[in-house]
Amino acid sequence: MADATTSSGAASSSIPADLAAETLPSLYRTMVLARVMDERCLSLQRQGRIGFYVPLQGQEAAQVACAWALDAADWVFPAYRELGVALVRGVPVKLLLDQFIGNSGDEMKGRQMPNHYGYRRFKFVTASSPVGTQISHAVGTAMAARRRGDAICTIAFFGDGTTSSNDFHAGLNFAGVYRAPTLFFCQNNQWAISLPRERQTASETLAMKASAYGFPGVVVDGTDVHAVYRVVREARRRALAGEGPTLIEAQVYRLGPHSTSDDPRRYRSDAELAQWKERDPIARLKHELLTLGLVTEESDQKVWEAAKELVGAALKEAEATAPVDPRTMFDDVFARPTPALEEQRRAMDGLLKEGVVRP
């Protein structure tokens, strides 16, 4: 499937309008790292070492190429499947695992579900389980940035199921009216948990929904890193030029379960899965790298081994990190703690000293 943008123009910054061949190995290594970490986290949940996980296998190209096309100053509003985006933004593997485990290295102090992370310094907003809530937040932040004169855009990630939510319609309508510099990146992985795409909407595409709100919609092959990158670069150019938002529908496939609480064998066929595995985005990019002479089978094996070593070392360190101190529950509640809160903290201190509560 070729990419199909609805407008044209030069890129808005020094970032190239298409991926250069020399950048492909780095992009590939990030995709491999995402796959390796994804597979390891699925295993960790099954072993009871983390409580919950949302996999992205099959969506690495869409996520990594999209994030590659953004500027570091752009704000990311994820759903709960954007591990590839987080890795491109520079979030360390150990920091992610700290959050999955919920130890004292977790910057959210164990207050979020596993796999619902966010980091201000990486401009990566905390994920939320209710679908679509991040869309209006992304639009509001984009409008605030424009009023401040910041030459950035925001991007909201979501799946095909979210296009049926109230927040999707409200957010896109508001963005269209005010021409917000926001990118809406829909990873259409064909299934909203167990609901197939054909029962989600009668629209021919999800991207065409943008026309009702007065801005372009784009359908792109989400397994093609070049196509995704070009579409996102053009959408970002439009946003910064004051031409308004773009809805991007990246057609991908979720090769694994919706989450570790899901069994996809109950609602989809092995034949369908096998058909999409033939379009594995990592295998597709590897073939291109082999053709270009940028990788060999031997060097590719080293890429996978390095990724496994990185994840293994980070996991060992994360599991050795002390648990969250229960007294942190009293932090960040009020700028100046109330007398009642101070009393509760003292009570917790007493329970810890008596061994009734363990750190």
pTM, to two decimals:
0.92
Question: Do 219 and 213 contact (CB within 8 A), yes or no?
Answer: no
Q: List, in order, residues 6 or more apart from 358 with CB less than 8 Å away.
A: 352
Strands ordered across the beta sheet of 154-159: 75-77, 154-159, 182-188, 246-251, 217-221
For the chain, which domains are there? 21-322 (3.40.50.970), 325-359 (no CATH)
DSSP 122-189: GTBPPP-SSTTHHHHHHHHHHHHHHHHT----EEEEEEGGGGGSHHHHHHHHHHHHHT--EEEEEEE-
How far out from the chain centre does Cα 22 lie? 25
Structure tokens at 77: 């509003």
DSSP letter at 249 equals E
pLDDT one-digit tens code per residue, 183-231: 999 999 999 999 999 998 999 999 999 999 999 999 999 999 999 999 9
Q: Which residues of the chain are modeled with pLDDT < 50?
A: 1-12
CB neighbour burial string for 297-313, b if at least 16 within 10 angstroms, e if fewer: eeebeebeeebbebbee
Give the largest CA-CA distance in the chain: 68
What's the pLDDT at 182?
98
pLDDT at 358: 79
Q: What is the pLDDT of residue 14?
A: 61
Is 336 labeled as catalytic in the residue annotation?
Answer: no
Give the residue from 314, 340, 273, 355 showing the smallest Cα distance to 96. 314
Burial of 14 (0-12, 13-18, 19+ CB in 10 A): exposed
Tokens of 317: 């360190």
Q: 120, 265, 267, 287: which one is catalytic?
A: 267
Q: Is 254 a catalytic residue?
A: yes
d(CA 320, CA 141): 38
Is 229 a known active-site residue?
no
Is there a contact between 173 and 182 (Cβ–Cβ < 8 Å)?
no
| Annotated catalytic residue within 258, 265, 266, 268 | 258
Instruction: Return the pLDDT at 26.
Output: 97
Residue of 254, 287, 345, 346 with catalytic role: 254
